[in-house]
Amino acid sequence: MKSQAAANPSSGLDQSSAVAPMSDAERLEGQQKLIADIASGMSLQQTLQGIARYIERQTSDTFCSIVLLQGNLLRRGAAPSMPSSFQDALDGLIIGPRCGSCGTAAYTGQQIISRDVARDPLWEGYAQWLIDNYGMHACWATPITSAAGQVLGVFSMYRRVHGEPSEKEQALIRTAVHLAALAIERSSYETEISHVKEIMESTSRAKSQFFANMGHELRTPLAAILGYTDLISEELHAGANDSLRTDLSNIKVAAQQLQKLVTNLLDIARLDIGQIKPQTESFDARELLNRIVAKAAPIYDRKHNHFAFECEGELGVLNTDSALIERVLEVFLDNANKFTSDGKIHMTARRTAVAESESLVVSISDTGIGMNEQQLENLSQIFFLGDPTSTRRHGGSGLGLAVAYGLCHLLGGSVEVRSEVGKGSTFTISIPNQIR
């Protein structure tokens, strides 16, 4: 941490906005505005500044800071009531097990409560800097994590007096880290989408046209996020808070839909330029399949589908890339569920040996809408969408199966499919024991 010249501890601090307490209506309206700002694409820095000020307005003599995590370094985020020298000092700080509250929270992924930084061993070497320059004696740091559990940054509250956060302050912290995670992930998705667009537009006119057509698929989940945000606002004003959970659940589904679409876009681009490299590891095949099945279980209930899984004999140990296999099978399971309603999905697994080569063979069958011969012929093409009518009805962008086919071939495997319109489809995926 860069040293700062000793100065008046209150010099440069600005918390003029934290004067009058917020009513419940103002608090709910503030959250709704922040969610709308996130969905509208406001810059990340502006959004984080808004989140920090929103929390500061509800606390007394508390100063908020949000820092981002880039690799093992903390990076400038937002600290609206602190002087710029404060953010300058944190920018580039290496995280670790004894790096103050922020650096330690980012390193451990756990909340770090320092009620008295002068006495906290985690603050050794940093405490006097914080006290002398900013007059702060307590710091509560909470990691900001993605839906997948990855640490994205740290939200911190600084106090001029010693102490721990109250129950109300812990609730504010939870609100702040949730909103900050949404903002950071959205900003990351937008950056990745922009990067993928540049790659695809530089390759061919067909890919450029495809990406232009993808605009609808990208906008649809975002429109849902905005729409449900508006509904929440109306319901809060109308006092219909009983339906708030349903609307929030719909927001989450829409966001997950967007996340899946972005992931597929990135995988298509990476496959195209050869950035995905299989990693060889030894693992138990049955344990991997059990994990995939457990993870996918919730999706079947939404479509009222019955799912069954069985292994034909021992599957043993595989020496290939478990993460890519998981990605491939998740796509095929999701596809089966997408085009099946009130039906059955059956997955079987077996180990086969041909000559000196062994493979894991997984079959996924459904009783869904099925496909005709033309659809089967074009199934693995990256830019092919099936019947537009069924696509609009069931959703999908035409990317998932192309990703799965590409990853399967990358592992030296193959995909066979049998299908009949109105009766369903069966995909048989063969993955060699070793990467070829």
SS (H, E, C) 186-212: HHHHHHHHHHHHHHHHCCCHHHHHHHH
Beta bridge partners of 125: none
Residue type, 143: P
* Torsion over CA: 157, 158, 160, 165 (sign): positive
* Torsion over CA: 279, 281, 284, 290 (sign): negative
Task: State the pLDDT at residue 17.
Answer: 44
Domain extents for the chain? Answer: 24-187, 203-272, 281-432
Task: State the pLDDT at residue 400.
Answer: 81
Segments of the chain scoring below 50 in pLDDT? 2-8, 17-19, 208, 212, 383-395
Distance CA 108, CA 165 (A): 20
Task: State the pLDDT at residue 353.
Answer: 84
Range 24-187 classified under CATH 3.30.450.40: yes
Distance CA 360, CA 433 (A): 7
CATH class of 281-432: alpha beta
203-272: CATH topology is: Helix Hairpins (1.10.287)
Distance CA 347, CA 162 (A): 58
Distance CA 244, CA 240 (A): 7
* Helices within 64-166 (DSSP H only): 84-90, 100-108, 127-134
Q: Residue 204: which of 156, 150, 269, 295 has the closest Cα?
A: 269
Burial class from Cβ neighbours inside 10 Å (0-12, 13-18, 19+) for residue 340 reads: buried
Burial class from Cβ neighbours inside 10 Å (0-12, 13-18, 19+) for residue 221 reads: buried
Task: State the pLDDT at residue 18.
Answer: 42
Task: State the pLDDT at residue 264.
Answer: 76
CB 121 within 8 A of CB 98: yes
Task: State the pLDDT at residue 199.
Answer: 65
Distance CA 242, CA 245 (A): 7
Q: Rounded to an integer, what is the distance from CA 221 to the centroid of its chain?
A: 15
The tokens of 391 are what?
């696509």
Burial 161-182 (b: 16+ CB within 10 A, else e): eeeebeeebeebbebbbebbbb
The tokens of 104 are what?
């330690």
Strand pairing report for 306-312 and 344-354: parallel
pTM tops 0.85, yes or no: no
Distance CA 200, CA 190 (A): 15
Four-CA torsion 118, 123, 125, 130, nearest 10 degrees: -60
Q: Residue 196: which of 127, 262, 135, 147 has the closest Cα?
A: 262
Collapsing DSSP to helix, strand or coil, 84 comes out as: helix
Q: How many other C-beta atoms can be found within 10 angstroms of the C-beta atom of residue 67?
A: 28
Distance CA 240, CA 56 (A): 28
Burial class from Cβ neighbours inside 10 Å (0-12, 13-18, 19+) for residue 139 reads: buried
User: What is each CA distance from 311 to 139, 241, 314, 361, 393, in whole angstroms?
Assistant: 53, 47, 7, 10, 33
Residue type, 276: I
Distance CA 217, CA 355 (A): 46
192: left (phi over 0), alpha (psi -120 to 50) or beta: alpha
Sheet holding 138-145, edge to edge: 73-78, 62-70, 151-159, 138-145, 112-114
